[in-house]
């Protein structure tokens, strides 16, 4: 999932999720909330572009959706799938067919029952070509899902080997109101985990089909999770309250959950210190050491990579002919990557416990042999200046002479700015080139990057599930989250073959081969592995942050202060 205004993987033997009690050295939480107002104000860091489950593509919207909706499964404290809207399921021996039984008494926030058809509708809506969901590919695991999604594409744009299909052909059927039958293209070991992901959340047909702006208003944002929308003040606050119709409402302690939208990290920390916020993410990098020392900040692992991308689509040359042509030379991209000292960035700029990223897939997913998939360094952590200079000379720009002017784009935030400035300085010092820096507000930035209206840009990804595929299928031609415009049919075929491979060891070999392809092509410039840096008041208990980047408030509460 796209990581927005956050700048924060540490070695993960397994993907873990941490219950944030109060920070470093805090005492264990009690269950008593007494008469303390159960209100938590949390800084999202950016206003979501959308909180429609089918259209969401970033972690900020994912946080909101994950607390407002519930899928067939949910994730426990170790990011393992447990029953959600489905209280039970069966799986066929061949691993292709799942039958889910919807929990009795499950209701939407307006009191109507949650039925199997709500899931069938929502999944097919996300796959529908006209919906233009960037996350539609996450539903390609369903039988004929990709065929339906690509059914309106021109022949030369369709994925090889994928047959066109209709909505009726897609492998999700509501047998009756309480029974959902799901058929997969291939056995998928992490499918149950996917069912807790935002794109798999149920949506009501009578709501979404009636009003295209349904996901912006409390009256129509009907949800089935622990919280329901009360108010949305643009660029200020999203207010959610406890959903009394939620099946597990008796265990939800919070009455109100406020999502603030301060992108500026310094302003967010000031608001926190002034008592205007209870929990903030990613404080200013310069403040992190002191906050960790005083116990108000805790750093936890994230299964994600912070990286830069080049525009490899035809739009780059249209935007800037000389810069577009230069950046599409793989020698240039490799030189830019080798000219970066990642260790210096994590030690002296980011300061949040990050690790230098020397590959695209971060640490955190295990192979059948017990080793972490991230076992190969494609770049030295400190860079290789001599090789970078040689590549620049081979590309026709010795010492940077004649290199065209180009702009690096990032979303507004002091953390992103500091890292971009450090990289800009390294490129100037090591390659002799001047790169202009430009920032945009989050919503504008997302559109600019999606429209391929840039030359170089910041990007980042948090795994949607703990498997290398969540990173590697990101760069397939058909991926809606492929912000680089990269297209390699050999790579696409390798990913498709890996999805069909039943032998776990052979599958991992294929995924390593796929990563070799994109790293040889220098599609991405990895910078570091993410961590999650949280600052919260001592009396805020039970907030859970996942290694997948999401923050859950279903178990959160405000304790009495002593």
Q: What six digits make up the tokens of 489?
A: 């049919």
**Dihedral sign (CA 314, 315, 319, 320):** negative
Q: In the 8-state DSSP scheme, what is residue 559?
A: P
* Four-point Cα dihedral 383, 387, 390, 391, nearest 10: -70
C-beta neighbour count of 289 within 10 angstroms: 12
pLDDT at residue 244 in the model: 98
pLDDT of the chain, 562 residues: tens digit per residue: 775 444 333 333 333 333 333 333 333 334 455 689 999 999 999 899 999 999 998 889 999 999 999 999 999 988 899 999 999 999 999 999 999 999 999 999 999 999 999 999 999 999 999 999 999 999 999 999 999 999 999 888 888 888 999 999 999 999 999 999 999 999 998 999 999 999 999 999 999 999 999 999 999 999 999 999 999 999 999 999 999 999 999 999 999 999 999 999 999 999 999 999 999 998 998 999 999 999 999 898 899 999 999 999 999 999 999 999 999 999 999 999 999 999 999 999 999 999 999 999 999 988 988 899 987 899 999 999 999 999 999 999 999 999 999 999 999 988 999 999 999 999 999 999 999 999 999 989 999 999 999 999 999 999 989 999 999 999 999 898 999 999 999 999 999 999 989 899 999 999 999 999 999 999 999 999 999 999 999 999 999 999 998 999 999 999 998 7
Quick check: 365 and 529 in contact, CB under 8 A? no
Q: Give the chain's domains with CATH numbers.
A: 47-260 (3.40.190.10), 301-531 (3.10.105.10)
pLDDT at residue 34 in the model: 60
Instruction: Compute the distance between CA of residue 201 and CA of residue 223 in angstroms, rounded to an integer.
Output: 10
pLDDT at residue 33 in the model: 54
Instruction: Compute the distance between CA of residue 356 and CA of residue 233 in angstroms, rounded to an integer.
Output: 38
Quick check: 360 and 515 in contact, CB under 8 A? yes
Instruction: Compute the distance between CA of residue 249 and CA of residue 230 in angstroms, rounded to an integer.
Output: 17
pLDDT at residue 5 in the model: 40
Residue the block writes with tokens 């295990």: 366
């Amino acid at each position: 999932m796209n990581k927005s205004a956050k700048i924060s993987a540490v070695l993960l033997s397994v993907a873990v999720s941490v219950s944030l009690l109060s920070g470093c050295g805090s005492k264990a939480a009690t269950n008593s909330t007494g008469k303390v107002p159960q209100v938590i104000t949390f800084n999202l860091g950016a206003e979501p572009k959308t909180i429609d489950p089918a259209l969401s593509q970033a972690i900020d919207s994912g946080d909101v959706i994950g607390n407002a909706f519930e899928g067939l499964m949910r994730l426990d404290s170790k990011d393992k799938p447990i029953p959600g809207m489905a209280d039970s399921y069966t799986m066929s021996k061949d691993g292709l067919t799942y039958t889910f039984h919807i929990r009795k008494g499950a209701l939407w926030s307006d009191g109507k029952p949650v039925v199997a058809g709500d899931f069938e509708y929502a999944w097919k809506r996300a796959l529908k070509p006209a919906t233009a969901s960037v996350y539609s590919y996450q539903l390609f695991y369903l039988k004929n899902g990709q065929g339906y999604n690509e059914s309106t594409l021109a022949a030369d744009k369709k994925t090889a080997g994928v047959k066109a299909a209709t909505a009726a052909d897609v492998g999700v059927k509501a047998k009756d109101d309480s029974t959902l039958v799901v058929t997969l293209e291939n056995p998928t070991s992490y499918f149950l985990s996917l069912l807790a992901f935002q794109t798999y959340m149920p949506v009501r047909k009578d709501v979404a089909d009636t009003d295209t702006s349904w996901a912006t208003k409390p009256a129509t944002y009907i949800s089935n999770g622990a919280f329901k929308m009360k108010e949305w003040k643009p660029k200020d606050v999203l207010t959610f309250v406890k959903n009394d119709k939620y099946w597990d409402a008796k265990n939800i302690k919070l009455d109100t959950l406020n999502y603030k939208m301060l992108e500026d990290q310094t302003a967010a920390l000031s608001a926190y210190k002034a008592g205007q916020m209870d929990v903030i993410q990613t404080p200013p990098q310069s403040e992190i050491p002191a906050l960790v020392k005083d116990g108000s900040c805790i750093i936890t692992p994230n299964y994600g990579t912070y990286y830069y991308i080049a525009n490899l689509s035809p739009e780059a040359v249209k935007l800037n002919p000389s810069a577009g042509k230069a950046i599409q030379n793989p020698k240039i991209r490799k030189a830019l990557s080798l000219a970066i000292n990642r260790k210096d960035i994590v030690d002296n700029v980011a300061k949040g416990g990050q690790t230098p990223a020397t590959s695209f897939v971060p640490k955190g997913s295990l192979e059948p042999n017990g080793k972490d998939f991230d076992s190969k360094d494609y770049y030295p952590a400190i860079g290789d200046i001599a090789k970078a200079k040689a590549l620049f000379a081979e590309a026709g720009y010795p010492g940077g002479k004649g290199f065209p002017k180009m702009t690096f784009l990032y979303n507004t935030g002091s953390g992103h700015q500091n890292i971009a400035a450090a990289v800009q300085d390294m490129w100037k010092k090591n390659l002799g080139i001047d790169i202009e820096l430009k920032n945009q507000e989050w919503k504008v930035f997302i559109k600019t990057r999606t429209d391929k209206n840039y030359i170089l840009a910041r990007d980042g990804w948090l795994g949607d599930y703990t498997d290398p595929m969540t990173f590697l299928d990101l760069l397939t031609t058909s991926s809606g989250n492929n912000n680089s415009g990269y297209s390699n049919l050999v790579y696409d075929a390798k990913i498709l073959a890996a999805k069909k491979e039943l032998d776990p060891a052979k599958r991992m070999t294929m995924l390593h081969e796929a990563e070799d392809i994109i790293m040889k092509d220098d599609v991405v410039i990895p910078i570091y592995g993410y961590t999650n840096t949280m600052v919260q008041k001592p009396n805020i208990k039970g907030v859970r942050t996942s290694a997948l980047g999401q923050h859950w408030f279903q178990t959160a509460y405000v304790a009495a202060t002593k």
